Structure 1
């Protein structure tokens, strides 16, 4: 079914397969950060003394905690890029060897002996090396009259995007016999090289004015919700295997 162009209102939304969009009304220039290259860093780290490796980190152990009883979970993961070294490769200076220094921080929640929830703060300093990364320098030199613009010496932008999770929290004793909390940390970091460029793109118009806030729905009566609910199972599913093998249609 095709779209009725007279009723079509350009707006943000999914483009489904039931029709096609009308022709754009104009071609416009927009200034955006364009991704020229990206790669993935995937790590699963556990506590171990000594220098950091690809699988261990000494900072995944807390300071001594006298009254810890049970680990709950970890939250508020953050990543911050501290410094970056870009070393041009021979033959093509647009490709760089990157040395990334960044810190991952988060809170670990636990229950103490009094039943109260407490938190321990972790900061994990990491260094990763990307051997070959396409990160060209900008040809144009950019200047702006706006005081709000953040001007930097680098023409390109190195950006880190992270998804992290504490896979485990173990209460153990250190060499002095103090209780400590060791965290097993798993994370994914996407490293991106971006340049501010002008792109020519098709457009329909300015974005429409958003609709007014929806009115608050009245609270539903719990008994009415209960009456509409299906009858629950009275017994769990059984874990049984077939008594006979399925026939494949061939006779023996």
Structure 2
């Protein structure tokens, strides 16, 4: 049975069943960055003096602190790509050796003896090498014009996406007697090679104007909200092993 398009409201959402969408109204060309290759860099770094290694970094130690008492946490992790070298491999220049130079920055908070919260700024400069990465060059050369000037656009994009966390922080005393903060840093970086391409996709129409929902929510009486709330659990969940583990395995 054909789906009535007039009853269908196009909007972003999950498509979880086949045959629930009407036929698209048109096929359109869109220009988007397409991912041609990606890889994951996973690092757990601790402080160590000397050249950086896969597990150590000498920039994970702070400057001398004033009367530190306890490490609290780290925040505001950011990554910035400083430089990039792409070296074509022999036999297939579409594959390249990638040399990445980037910096990770963040703040670490600690408590001093007076109870005040202080912060230290960290910048971690790193270099990683990807031995073989599919990053083809664009065949078409494009020039972009604007009102001010005409310039060539670089269609190849190397993109870094990071999730980072300070796994630990420790206040230590140096040989000089000064106290510093050492951070154990863990992070994941996804390196993507993107190329600006035209893709043919089905489309319904322009996205509809959303309903008016930017108004301030009226204040609600807390007792009314309490009356509608479900009865809470009076006891925590039990953490019990199954009585018959071999039976449960057979059921799976």
Q: What band does the TM-score fall into relative to the shorter chain?
A: 0.7 to 0.9
RMSD: 2.7
Aligned to 1:169: 169
Aligned to 1:44, what secondary structure does the other structure show? Answer: strand
CA distance in 1, matches of 2:144, 2:240: 71
Aligned to 2:126: 126
Aligned to 1:76: 76
Q: How does 1:70-109 map to 2 (within 5 A)?
A: 70-109=70-109
Q: TM-score, normalised by structure 1?
A: 0.87
- 1:240 to 1:145, Cα distance in 2 relative to 1, 3 A: closer
Deviation at 1:33, TM superposition (A): 0.9
Aligned to 1:213, what secondary structure does the other structure show? Answer: coil
Aligned to 1:118, what secondary structure does the other structure show? Answer: strand
Deviation at 1:214, TM superposition (A): 3.9
Number of equivalenced pairs: 246
Deviation at 1:148, TM superposition (A): 8.0
Deviation at 1:22, TM superposition (A): 0.9
- Where structure 2 has 5 or more consecutive residues not aligned to the other structure, the ranges are 248-252
CA distance in 2, matches of 1:2, 1:171: 69
Deviation at 1:216, TM superposition (A): 2.6
8 Å contact kept, 2:143–2:152: no
Deviation at 1:226, TM superposition (A): 4.1
Moved more, 223-232 or 203-212: 223-232
- 1:240 to 1:204, Cα distance in 2 relative to 1, 3 A: closer
Moved more, 2-11 or 194-203: 2-11
- 1:140 to 1:239, Cα distance in 2 relative to 1, 3 A: closer
Aligned to 1:160: 160
Aligned to 1:13: 13
Q: TM-score, normalised by structure 2?
A: 0.87
Q: Which 4+ residue blocks in structure 1 deviate beyond 6 angstroms?
A: 237-242
Deviation at 1:153, TM superposition (A): 7.4
Q: How does 1:202-221 map to 2 (within 5 A)?
A: 202-221=202-221
- 1:248 to 1:26, Cα distance in 2 relative to 1, 3 A: closer
- Where structure 1 has 5 or more consecutive residues not aligned to the other structure, the ranges are none
Aligned to 2:200, what secondary structure does the other structure show? Answer: strand
Q: How does 1:215-230 map to 2 (within 5 A)?
A: 215-227=215-227, 228-230=229-231
CA distance in 1, matches of 2:215, 2:155: 47
